[in-house]
Structure 1
Amino acid sequence: MKIAFLDRSTIGPTVQISKPTFAHEWVEYDNTSPDEVLVRLQGVQICITNKVPLSADVLKQLPDLKLVCIAATGYDKVDIATCDELGIVVSNVRGYAVNTVPEHAFALIFALRRSLVGYRQDVINGEWQKSGKFCFFNHPIKDLAGSRLGIIGSGTLGKGTARIGEALGMDVVFADRKGAAEVRPGYTDWQEVITTSDVISLHTPLTPETRGMISAAEFEAMQQKPILINTSRGGLVDEAALVQALDKQQIAAAGFDVLTTEPPQADNPLLSILDRPNVIVTPHVAWASEEAMQTLWDQLVSHMENFQNGKPSNAVGHIGS
């Protein structure tokens, strides 16, 4: 059994990379470009990938491939339909980020709600030292208790974020689907959430239906001028419209861990406003606490063990499920 890990560098160096207990040949690469995939997977039975794409054309030229382990929850980089057609099992990891992503979302919320970035920069620039006062008020400071947290996406991560918000005394509501004719029990009308929330946090997959779900019309409707947080997927928010919303003061601040293209291209609108005190962009690390990455890896190894024992786990296609 030959196993190839195509992008080892996407898992932090502190993670203990344990190996399956069954007999195997192991090869790993820090990174793999699309034109290297076919050569590197020749004769491989198990492929591990995080963000390296596996297209239909490549998959059809890999007769030995039997299992694709995705070192993430999202599986849009792998052509699942072709894997089903070829009898290749695809397994992803789930539930590993239940703490790290909500905590990162609230790290952004706290920093922006209390203007920590702006005040830190003021001290660096000597503003406090020159003020002659014990404090000053260059930036707004607001409590979270009593404010409304609107969450878009009610899966594990959305619910984890909700629990933190509730513990802080926030009024937490989950948005129903955009454009839904009737509001489901336990949810709040989409437009009401957009209109009345002080903080909006995104925790939904990127699909054709959710792409660009927050754009100019939504920003115009945000009467509370909320903080917008995205630790989910780039592409959920129209980034050009986001910059315009900040310019027009339609929202108070933005905290993003994900962008439409990663790493961002030079013309990404958000790169031009990173010096603003009400904007924080982190490099897609909300998922990456040491504890979460170790849980991810341990789960991934268990998928390989289970497959070898004839009991595939976390299959995302029709094969093995």
Structure 2
Amino acid sequence: MTAPLILVSDCDLPGTVIEDTLRQAGLRAERAASGSIDDLAVLGADAEGLVVQWAHITADVMDRMPNLRIISRVGIGYDMVDVAAATARGIAVANTPSYCIEEVAAHTIAMIMTQARGLPAYDRAVRAGTWKAVDARPLAVRPSTTTVAVLGFGRIGSIVARGCRALGFRVVVADPYAAPDAVREAGCELVEIPDAVAQADLLTLHVPLTDATRHLIDGPALATMKQGAVIVNTCRGPLIDEEALAASLRAGHLGAAALDVFAGEPLADDSPLRDLEQVLLTPHAAWYSPEALADLPVHAADNIIRFLAGESVPIVNPAYAAR
């Protein structure tokens, strides 16, 4: 009996860990020449599993892969996969939600604290020869009088919320799927999204990117925020309308932003965000540690292995099974 074929559409991580892990489990594994529909179709006609990092897996791609049973994303987000199309075709979509929880939460809290204490501005001032403690920008806050608003109380958002509470911040949470008791037990207050945005001194985003959440933070939402408020995003870039964000920062309404993710990556050379001193930028690095780098490709391959063995995996579209 021929072993199932698993196709890797693309992966910019070093080495061949995905393929090696699949082959060690007795599966066949091949990597496409690129993530284009034609290159995927060359090898994918017989594939039962697909591992994807950045390639866009559309309905047309799936139709060229008639035996496909599962798509496994190398990462937490899965907006590059047309999940509705997969569900309609009875194809499971899995992600790797646990490989970098600690890292992203730590990066987020680091960004929050960096801005809450005005560290970038202090650093620039000292390097320029100014030694003045009372000129922090945009903030130098006392946590107990400062509100952190956390949008999303999942694996990462809940850790960030608890961490901020441990540091003394007042924390409000907006998540329609969060259990109220869990939010209260974390010492946080559950509110609606507009209220969280309006109350925030520091706003941090931890929600999936969907049609409903794309540009969740747009011009009108930014206008409701406090003068001098700060936004942190280590989740998905398109949650924020970057043009509106830049305009609010230039106008002096928002105080600062700390961003690890962007609508287009790498961040374009002509992005207005690059020219704003009050924006702290990191290169989609919140996920990274040597341990996370080692875990990620293994987790993506394990999703395929376990699914084909009939075991539980983190499926994001459980309705696929009804098709």
| 1:229 shift after superposition | 0.6
Correspondent of 1:94 among 93, 97, 109: 97
Correspondent of 1:73 among 73, 76, 79: 76
Equivalent position amino acid for 2:219 in 1 = A
Conserved 8 A contact 1:92-1:315: yes
TM-score, normalising length from structure 1? Answer: 0.82
Conserved 8 A contact 1:145-1:168: yes
Which runs of 5 or more residues in structure 1 are unaligned? 178-183
Matching of residues 105-254 of structure 1 within 5 Å:
105-124=108-127, 127-128=128-129, 138-140=135-137, 142-146=140-144, 147-175=146-174, 186-254=189-257
> What is the percent sequence identity of the aligned residues?
28
Equivalent position amino acid for 2:115 in 1 = L
Question: 2: distance between equivalents of 1:59 and 1:95?
Answer: 26
| 1:202 shift after superposition | 1.0
SS of structure 1 residue aligned to 2:232: strand
1:313 equivalent in structure 2: 313
2:285 aligned with 1:285, yes or no? yes
Conserved 8 A contact 1:235-1:260: yes
Question: 1: distance between equivalents of 2:15 and 2:259?
Answer: 24
Question: 1: distance between equivalents of 2:142 and 2:293?
Answer: 29
Conserved 8 A contact 2:87-2:320: yes
Which protein is richer in helix relative to its size? 2
TM-score, normalising length from structure 2? Answer: 0.81
| 1:221 shift after superposition | 2.5
2:301 equivalent in structure 1: 301
Conserved 8 A contact 1:102-1:161: yes
Conserved 8 A contact 2:72-2:93: yes
| 1:165 shift after superposition | 0.1
Conserved 8 A contact 1:88-1:319: yes
Conserved 8 A contact 2:6-2:49: yes
| 1:232 shift after superposition | 1.5
Kindly report the root-mean-square deviation, in angstroms, between the aligned alpha carbons of the 2 structures: 3.0
| 1:31 shift after superposition | 5.6
| 1:6 shift after superposition | 2.2
Question: 2: distance between equivalents of 1:251 and 1:258?
Answer: 18
Equivalent position amino acid for 1:153 in 2 = G
Question: 2: distance between equivalents of 1:307 and 1:206?
Answer: 24
Question: 2: distance between equivalents of 1:82 and 1:211?
Answer: 19
Which runs of 5 or more residues in structure 2 are unaligned? 177-182
Conserved 8 A contact 1:8-1:31: no
Bigger mean CA deviation after superposition, 229-238 or 258-267: 258-267
Equivalent position amino acid for 1:248 in 2 = A
Conserved 8 A contact 1:206-1:235: yes
1:19 equivalent in structure 2: 21
Correspondent of 2:50 among 30, 47, 50: 47
| 1:17 shift after superposition | 7.6
| 1:92 shift after superposition | 1.9
Moved over 6 A (4+): 13-17
Question: 1: distance between equivalents of 2:111 and 2:7?
Answer: 36
Question: 2: distance between equivalents of 1:234 and 1:315?
Answer: 23
Question: 2: distance between equivalents of 1:55 and 1:192?
Answer: 36
Equivalent position amino acid for 1:261 in 2 = G
2:264 aligned with 1:261, yes or no? yes
| 1:157 shift after superposition | 1.5
Write the deviation string for residues 210-241 of structure 1: whole angstroms up to 9, x where unpaired.
22222233333223521111111122222122
Equivalent position amino acid for 2:154 in 1 = G
The 1:8–1:198 alpha-carbon spacing in structure 2 relative to 1, beyond 3 Å, is same
